[in-house]
Amino acid sequence: MASSMRATVGLLLRDIVSSQADMEKLEKKSLEELDQMVYQEMMKALQFGRSQSQALASLRNKAGRLSQDLVLASENKERVQRHLLEECKSRRREREELQKSTLELEAEKDCFIRETRALRDQNRLLQAELRAKELGVKRLPESNLNIEEELIRGLDSRRMLTSEQSGG
């Protein structure tokens, strides 16, 4: 799961770098287009006998459109960066929640394992007591009391975990 998160973040970072490179290309292209437009407008002015002021007015209009394109591209870049940042934050929150629930599940699994072992031990103890009664033995050795204590400990830890998870 962590590798998929790293891959996603890597893709997001690549998109940001790509957006910045696209912006730089657009700026370079815009400057080249502006140079080309100036040259073309001056040539038209000379060819058709237009005045220099008419050629400059036409250039201003075209430069204004290019400027608007640059502003839109810049706004687009900022919007993409904000979106990517929010996406990264969202993924981080999801990852933290998954880690927290994983830890809770592991703790619960450990309690189940302890409880299962204690129940298995208690079952063995009860079977031994039953066999002892069948054979006429009155009391089992003291070591069997440890099994009962382990069962109680396992059940207590399970209760504590359950109460912590329920907010109590």
Domain boundaries along the sequence of the chain: 2-165
* Average pLDDT in the chain: 74
Residue 55 pLDDT exceeds 80: no
**Beta strand ranges found along 6-136 (DSSP E):** none
Helix (H) or strand (E) holding 161: helix 144-165
Q: Given this model, what pLDDT does residue 18 score?
A: 64
Query: Is pTM, for the whole model, over 0.85?
Result: no
Reported for 7-16, long-range contacts at CB under 8 A and 24+ positions apart, including other chains, are 8/91, 9/88, 9/91, 12/84, 12/87, 12/88, 15/80, 15/84, 16/80, 16/81, 16/84
Neighbours of 52 (CB within 10 A): 11
